[in-house]
Amino acid sequence: MSKTLIRGAKVLGGEPQDVLIDGETIEAVGTGLTDEGVEVVEADGKVLLPGLVDLHTHLREPGREDSETVLTGTRAAARGGYTAVFAMANTFPVADTAGVVEQVWRLGREHGYCDVQPIGAVTVGLEGRKLAELGAMHESAAGVTVFSDDGKCVDDAVIMRRALEYVKAFGGVIAQHAQEPRLTEGAQMNEGVVSSELGLRGWPAVAEESIIARDVLLAEHVGSRVHICHLSTAGSVEIVRWAKSRGIDVTAEVTPHHLLLTDELVRSYNPVYKVNPPLRTERDVMALREALADGTIDIVATDHAPHPHEDKDCEWAAAAMGMVGLETALSVVQQTMVDTGLLDWAGVADRMSFTPARIGRAGGHGRPVSAGEPANLTLVDTAYRGQVDPAGFASRSRNTPYEGRELPGRVTHTWLRGTATLVDGKLA
């Protein structure tokens, strides 16, 4: 396999260095590395990050290939700078058996744009009643370690307790979609000032916070670890902060859209802003940014949720919930966290690569950019400014809330184990 020299890259935002890739591995990091007989990529001051890892992606295959497939989703991931994505279990059939998770894992391997690590369902059919065969999924070729009924909350306290206990045997983690179902029946948007004016049924913050409070206490009681998906309220931040101060083994993620957008946008009744959990208030957004900066929230995860056009081109109540996010995530994080001075690029590498890989036990990902490590890398032109044009997306779906919005930064190159999946912004 040939060698590639990335010349003059700001590794994790530091001083420009050269990075030499040999085969699947980083051979050397330093200055003035020889370019003899190697392919050279002039980084020219761009920022080099470890390949991004998304702990929360919906690839829709099997079952909803009209909105996304493993191929189109992993191509979108490569465009966004990701080298590994965790695929959520709410497919058709549900990823609640070893057979389904192995199929998804294998498709990711075959396409080669991005490693796909399937997430297994916690309960059979996501129905919240009976534990799925968590051990079998862990022992399958897919090696599942993250389990989630995402899209639905594991709301039965006994089932949640048992799941938390059970996965301790093999180092698994339950990723909870925190949404108390009775408090959110028919809910359409964040409950507050805007919902009261728009006449859309409210989705109270307490529906999320009460489940998080219960689950961190359950995790403490049984000595297990728990991960909170797409945390969206200031109150949730306080609960997680309290839990961590008590030594509870809890981790939490925030989506890019909850770092930027607020429920004021729902005044347009445009379902492109309809998402679960819903867009909250500016106060929540600011609390989430602070929490991501101080480490209370551990990671950014996209909750990339593709939907076909017709599911958004309708009245609000009839529309599907969710937004695509893989191809805009890093730009939104740059705008909300880096350009605001809350996080440096080393911090971004931590929140979007090192820590998600650690939570999900994604071997070979989220490693330092240093000699001997797997060459999973992302090169970012942080000086770039441009409008989001969904027509250029690799995702099969276009349901982005950022159409026409100017966002900073652009991923120009992605390498998966030394092989370029994205070159000069074009998929390889």
Partner 1 sequence: MQRHLISAADLTRDDAVLILDTAEEMARVADRPIKKLPTLRGRTVVNLFFEDSTRTRISFEAAEKRLSADVINFTAKGSSVSKGESLKDTAQTLEAMGVDAVVIRHGASGAPYRLATSGWIDAAVINAGDGTHQHPTQALLDAFTMRRRLVGRDTGLGRDLAGKRITIVGDVLHSRVARSNVELLHTLGADVTLVAPPTLLPVGVPSWPCEISYDLDSTLPKSDAVMMLRVQRERMNAAFFPTEREYARRYGLDADRMAKMPEHAIVMHPGPMVRGMEITAEVADSPRCTAVEQVSNGVSIRMAVLYLLLGGAAFDAKAAPEAANGLVDTHPRTEEK
| 420, burial (CB in 10 Å: exposed 0-12, middle 13-18, buried 19+) | buried
Among 8, 51, 120, 202, binds partner 1 (CB under 8 A): 202
DSSP string for 67-88 = T--HHHHHHHHHHTTEEEEEEP
* Contact (Cβ atoms closer than 8 angstroms) between residue 412 and residue 41: no
Min CB(421)–partner 1 separation in Å = 32
Residue 260 binding partner 1, by CB under 8 A: yes
Residue 193 binding partner 1, by CB under 8 A: yes
Name which of 286, 303, 302 is nearest 294 in CA terms.
286
Q: Is 111 annotated as a binding residue?
A: no
User: Helix 98-111 and helix 70-79: axis angle, to 10°?
Assistant: 50
Q: Is 90 annotated as a binding residue?
A: yes
Q: Is 138 annotated as a binding residue?
A: no
Q: Which residues are catalytic?
A: 303
Nearer to partner 1, 202 or 356 (CB): 202
Residue 25 binding partner 1, by CB under 8 A: no
Q: For residue 42, which phi and psi values (nearest 5 degrees)? A: -80, 110
Using the contact rule CB under 8 A, the part of the chain among 135-143, 194-202, 240-248, 355-363 near partner 1 is 194-202
Among 45, 318, 339, 389, binds partner 1 (CB under 8 A): 318
* Contact (Cβ atoms closer than 8 angstroms) between residue 282 and residue 336: no
- CA distance readout (Å), 201 to 194, 240, 241, 315, 381: 10, 27, 29, 14, 42
The span from the CA of 108 to the CA of 112, in Å, is 6
Residue 384 binding partner 1, by CB under 8 A: no
Sign of the alpha-carbon dihedral angle for 227, 228, 230, 236: negative
Min CB(321)–partner 1 separation in Å = 15
Residue 407 binding partner 1, by CB under 8 A: no
Helix (H, G, I), strand (E, B) or coil at 53: strand
Residue 192 binding partner 1, by CB under 8 A: yes
Min CB(341)–partner 1 separation in Å = 16
29 pairs with which residues across the strands? 19
Among 128, 204, 308, 364, binds partner 1 (CB under 8 A): 204
Nearer to partner 1, 25 or 270 (CB): 270
DSSP string for 367-393 = --SSTTSB--EEEEEEEEEEEB-GGG-
Name which of 199, 200, 152, 159 is nearest 180 in CA terms.
152
360 pairs with which residues across the strands? none
Residue 339 binding partner 1, by CB under 8 A: no
Residue 390 binding partner 1, by CB under 8 A: no
Min CB(195)–partner 1 separation in Å = 6
Q: Is 58 annotated as a binding residue?
A: yes
Min CB(289)–partner 1 separation in Å = 11
Among 2, 31, 34, 268, binds partner 1 (CB under 8 A): 268
Residue 37 binding partner 1, by CB under 8 A: no
Residue 388 binding partner 1, by CB under 8 A: no
Helix (H, G, I), strand (E, B) or coil at 423: strand
What type of residue sits at position 78? A
Contact letters for partner 1, residues 127-166 (x by CB under 8 A): ----------------------------------------
Nearer to partner 1, 42 or 282 (CB): 282
Sequence ranges of the binding site: 56, 58-60, 90, 150, 177, 230, 276, 303, 307
Residue ranges that bind partner 1, judged by CB under 8 A: 188, 191-202, 204, 260-262, 264-265, 267-270, 282, 285, 310, 313-318, 405
